Amino acid sequence: MYSMKKIIFILFYLRGIYGDQSTDNYVSYIEQLGQPNGDYHNGEIEVVTNVTEAYQIQKTQEYRLLQKGFSEVDAVEFSRIGIVHEDQYWIWLRDAVYFPNKISGTYDRLLWKSALKSTYPGVAVLPVLPSGSVVLNLNYRHATRSWELELPRGGIQSDETPEEAASREIREETGCIASCITFLGNMAPDTGVLSSVIPVFMATIVAQEKSNPEYSEAIADVMSFTKDELKEGLMQGFLEISIQGATHQVPLRDSFLTFALFQAECRNLLYDR
């Protein structure tokens, strides 16, 4: 039997490694993701799952930050391995790792929480009209604090396939009704931060009705553009759009759109009719 003193020591030891969440939560998320831990021998970044090694890496990282002038409180906080923060949408993990040549350190990554329940957390769709033009949302984005021209996209509900989610999202956001959904490929929005990939589809549109976006979506308009217009806009970085009577240079920089256009053109699926 462990003494109470010993139990308290173990709890604080684990909290020091895995933050405010339990060890089980952190390990569970890693297991649910099902991603390889990597092997530094092969030039990869290896996630260290051995508790003793992880603790030593954390202490080494604390020392490095202290040497860089960080306060003791910040050095401990910024080196703490495990679940840094979690809400209903995101999980922020900090892993103990070995970089190539077995140089130890820590590395952060973000997970869409929905990715733990499904292979994919969401979808993006390239809606193509009978004319060959592409439908985009004129969307005000909180993160960039600007209007953006983007593909319709959104999360996958628990009872949906990715294809069903694609059909629902374009109908909700643009009012477009698809007769055919074609898989174009998986796209990684940011391999430096996000662990998840997103499937991208092309939808052949046969009709259009009134859109019904969610209350949190600031979609001012649903617009269509030819392939050539989009190529020109991507090269110059914007398209001139009228918003409430005023002309704006709206950024055209959606990575999902770029990926979808390239994939569709490589497959000879997109052309002006």
**Residue where one domain finishes, among candidates 116, 142, 175:** 116
Same domain, 135 and 222: yes
Which candidate, 94, 86, 95, places its Cα nearest to that of 116? 86
* Mean pLDDT within 103-130: 91
Rounded CA separation 124/127 (Å) = 10
Same domain, 130 and 214: yes
pLDDT score, position 27: 81
Percent of the chain clearing pLDDT 70 (strictly above): 90
Rounded CA separation 55/109 (Å) = 19
Same domain, 131 and 56: no
130 has pLDDT over 70? yes
- 118 band by pLDDT with thresholds 50, 70 and 90: confident
Tokens of 202: 């092309």
pLDDT score, position 22: 52
Which candidate, 214, 182, 217, places its Cα nearest to that of 199? 182
Same domain, 31 and 135: no
Sign of the alpha-carbon dihedral angle for 36, 39, 43, 45: positive
Q: pTM of the entire structure?
A: 0.85
Q: What is the CATH number of the domain that holds 173?
A: 3.90.79.10
Helices (DSSP H) in the chain: which residue ranges?
A: 4-18, 23-33, 51-67, 72-79, 162-174, 227-236, 255-266
Rounded CA separation 73/161 (Å) = 46
pLDDT score, position 5: 39
166 has pLDDT over 70? yes
pLDDT averaged over the chain? 88
12 has pLDDT over 70? no
Rounded CA separation 86/107 (Å) = 17
pLDDT score, position 51: 86
273 located within any domain: no
Same domain, 225 and 184: yes
76 located within any domain: yes
Rounded CA separation 103/82 (Å) = 19
The residue range of the domain holding 34 is 4-116
Q: What angle do CA 57, 54, 52 make, to 5 degrees?
A: 110
pLDDT digits (tens, 9 = 90+) for 172-230: 999 999 999 999 999 999 999 998 899 999 999 999 888 888 787 888 899 999 999 99
Same domain, 248 and 143: yes
pLDDT score, position 113: 87
pLDDT score, position 176: 94
Rounded CA separation 135/129 (Å) = 7
φ, ψ for residue 146 (rounded to 5)? Answer: -160, 165
* Structural domains of the chain, count: 2
pLDDT score, position 210: 86
